[in-house]
């Protein structure tokens, strides 16, 4: 018994020693592996989007001891690594873009796993993105071969949307989290909320509906979020609504989904076969192949194509207002063209975009409109006064009214803004006369007029200041001097008492007073 116990004790000690040895060896191996790992080279960091697609970031890394330098390649941009380390198998680096208060930082963290790196990236204020980085060749980051461009000519007008298109678009609220079920519910809500009756007709699916791969014949396919686009289009049509879709003239869209590059005709035919009524065509990935000066030809290519596919399709150009698109958007068959970068749901963004549009207002014509981007009304980042300014300004500018909120859960206040039929009537005025800013460009009180069908005038008194202020307007300064005027306050839904020479309104911070003036006989 005694000797057995001693034997087992010896055994135990031996085992422990073996264990320690194994542990030590493992540690040594790992340390040697890390010491030997040289991250120098080209990597692709792939983040699955959950619908079969991946977002890819190429990394050109240089390792020197524990220091990591190099750059990341995101789309057309090369962003240098600001600070980077590799220690005990852990990679850490930071990139920064922009300057001053606009600096955007992204932190990348990685852990070696064999010859791969399990990675995450986190941009300030964004959800972290997780994925895997693998070694690849620099050629993998190169765009496909450049295809020749057509000669420029004028594309025939498709005759659609004689007044600015109205509807809804998925991007502002849902971004990549949009699917068939949500689009159906939005279509239902468009009808039940009264939006359809107020003129909102287009239900537009933005980026992230595309599958990662085309089918064997090269046809564009949908990812599992949209199992049957034709059935979805049928559903939306059954509600008396129309349906829109999104693509890019480049190989990839902004969210890195499949674009229409080299498949324009095929894609346009697919849209037509599904029953699509509207296409938003977003430059993004095309910038990897073509210069900005070449975009007119690329947009013309799709403009021509859409006319050939036997279905009326509204054509929306999205290239952020580059190349003075308002001077050629209609020539390529565009019904609307974005005039700015992306809007976001806060005052500074909307204010900057909205009040910058007056110089180009005369380019809007029936069937061809400036598009200062989709509405943010109801998304929660602005006050009701600010949203009323948003709606009033977009309407005076004859801008497309594409709601960007969740129509299934609108507050009464949001409805009262989006559904204000008197304001919508300004937007939809058939004459599309340009909005005119009467006041100084930098003033915090902005007076805007627009001549309406039948001779009446819309008058917006905007207060861009952070405090309430009185805004005075003299009829003479807006070409209505000496006339006896009747006025209607379009937000109060009531007649307004105006003076013989002018009007003075107390306007809340970031708010608006919107009047319709009619000279009485």
47 or 507, CB closer to ligand GLA? 47
Torsion of Cα atoms, 358 then 360 then 366 then 370, to 10°: -90
Is 56 a binding residue for ligand GLA by CB under 6 A? The answer is: no
Q: Is residue 207 a contact residue for ligand GLA (CB under 6 A)?
A: yes
Q: How far is the CB of 342 from ligand GLA (least distance, A)?
A: 5
Sign of the CA dihedral with 269 first, then 271, 273, and 278 last:
negative
Residues 242-261 that bind ligand GLA (CB under 6 A): 253-255
Rg of the chain taking only CA atoms, in angstroms: 29
Among 51, 60, 206, 385, binds ligand GLA (CB under 6 A): 206
Contacts of 29 (CB under 8 A, 6+ apart): none
Closest contact distance (angstroms) between CB of 344 and ligand GLA is 11
Number of residues that bind ligand GLA (CB under 6 A): 9
The angle subtended at Cα 302 by Cα 300 and Cα 308, nearest 5°, is: 110
Please give the backbone phi and psi of residue 434, each rounded to the nearest 5 degrees, phi first.
Answer: -75, 145
Nearest to 472 by CA among 491, 445, 492, 448: 445
- Considering the rule CB under 6 A, would residue 405 count as an interface residue with ligand GLA? no
- Given the residues 282, 345, 351, 406, the one annotated as active site: 282
In eight-state DSSP terms, residue 352 is H
Catalytic residue check, 342: yes
Q: Reading across the β-sheet that carries 494-496, which strands appear in turn?
A: 436-437, 445-451, 457-463, 512-519, 485-489, 494-496
Show the beta-strand stretches assigned E in 385-431: 401-403
Instruction: Give, as one character, the DSSP assignment of residue 14.
Output: H
Check residue 342 for interaction with ligand GLA (CB under 6 A): yes
In angstroms, give the least distance from the CB of 206 to ligand GLA. Answer: 5
- How far, in Å, CA of 452 to CA of 455, rounded? 6
- Residue from 45, 171, 337, 475 touching ligand GLA (CB under 6 A): that is 171
Binding string, residues 293-332; x marks residues near ligand GLA by CB under 6 A: -------------------------x--------------
386 binds ligand GLA (CB under 6 A): no
Q: Give the nearest distance from C-beta 176 to ligand GLA in angstroms.
A: 8
Spacing of C-alpha 108 from chain mean position: 24
180 counts as binding ligand GLA under rule CB under 6 A: no
- Encoded one letter per residue, x for contact with ligand GLA by CB under 6 A and - for no contact, window 98-137 reads ----------------------------------------
Catalytic residues, by residue number, are 282, 342
Binding site for ligand GLA (CB under 6 A): 171, 206-207, 253-255, 282, 318, 342
């Amino acid at each position: 018994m005694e000797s057995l116990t001693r034997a087992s004790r010896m055994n135990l000690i031996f085992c422990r020693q073996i264990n320690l040895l194994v542990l030590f060896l493992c540690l040594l191996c790992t340390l040697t592996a890390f010491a030997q790992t040289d991250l120098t080279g080209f990597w692709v960091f792939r983040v699955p989007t959950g619908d079969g697609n991946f977002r890819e970031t190429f990394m050109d890394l240089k390792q020197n001891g524990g220091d990591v330098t190099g750059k990341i390649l995101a789309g057309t941009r090369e962003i240098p690594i600001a600070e980077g380390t590799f220690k005990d198998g852990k990679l850490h680096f930071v990139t920064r873009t922009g300057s001053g208060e606009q600096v955007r930082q992204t932190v990348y963290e990685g852990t070696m796993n064999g010859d791969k790196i399990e990675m995450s990236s986190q941009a300030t204020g964004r959800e972290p993105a997780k994925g895997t980085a693998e070694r690849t060749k620099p050629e993998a980051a190169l765009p496909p071969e450049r295809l020749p461009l057509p000669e420029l000519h004028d594309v025939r007008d498709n005759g659609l949307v004689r007044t600015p298109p109205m509807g809804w678009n998925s991007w502002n609220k849902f971004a990549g989290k949009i699917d068939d079920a949500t689009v159906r519910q939005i279509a239902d809500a468009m009808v039940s909320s009264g939006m359809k009756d107020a003129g909102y007709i287009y239900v537009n699916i933005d980026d992230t509906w595309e599958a990662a791969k085309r089918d064997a014949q090269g046809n564009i396919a949908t990812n599992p979020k949209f199992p049957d686009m034709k059935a979805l289009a049928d559903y939306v049509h059954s509600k008396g609504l129309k349906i829109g879709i999104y693509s890019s003239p480049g190989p990839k869209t902004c969210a890195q989904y499949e674009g229409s590059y080299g498949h324009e005709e095929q894609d346009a035919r697919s849209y037509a076969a599904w029953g699509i009524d509207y296409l938003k065509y977003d430059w993004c990935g095309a910038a990897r192949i073509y210069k900005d000066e070449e975009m007119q030809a690329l947009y013309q290519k799709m403009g021509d194509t859409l006319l050939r596919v036997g279905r009326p399709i509204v054509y929306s150009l999205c290239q952020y207002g580059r190349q003075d698109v308002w001077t050629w958007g209609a020539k390529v068959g565009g019904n609307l063209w974005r005039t700015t970068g992306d809007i976001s749901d806060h005052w500074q963004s909307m204010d900057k975009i909205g009040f910058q549009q007056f110089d180009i207002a005369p380019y809007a014509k029936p069937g061809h409109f400036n598009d200062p981007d989709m509405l943010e009304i109801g998304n929660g980042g602005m006050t009701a006064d600010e949203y009323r300014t948003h709606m009033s300004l977009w309407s005076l500018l004859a801008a497309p009214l594409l709601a960007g909120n969740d129509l299934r859960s609108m507050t009464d206040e949001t409805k009262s803004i989006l559904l204000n039929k008197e304001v919508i009537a300004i937007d939809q005025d058939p004459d599309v006369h340009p909005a005119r800013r009467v006041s100084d460009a930098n003033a915090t009180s902005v007076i805007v007029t627009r001549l309406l069908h039948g001779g009446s005038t819309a008058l917006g008194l905007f207060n861009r200041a952070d405090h309430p202020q009185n805004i005075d307007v003299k009829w003479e300064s807006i070409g209505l001097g000496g006339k006896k005027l009747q006025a209607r306050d379009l937000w109060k839904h009531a007649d307004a008492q105006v003076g013989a020479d002018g009007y003075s309104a107390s306007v809340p911070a970031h708010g608006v007073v919107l009047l319709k003036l009619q000279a009485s006989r």
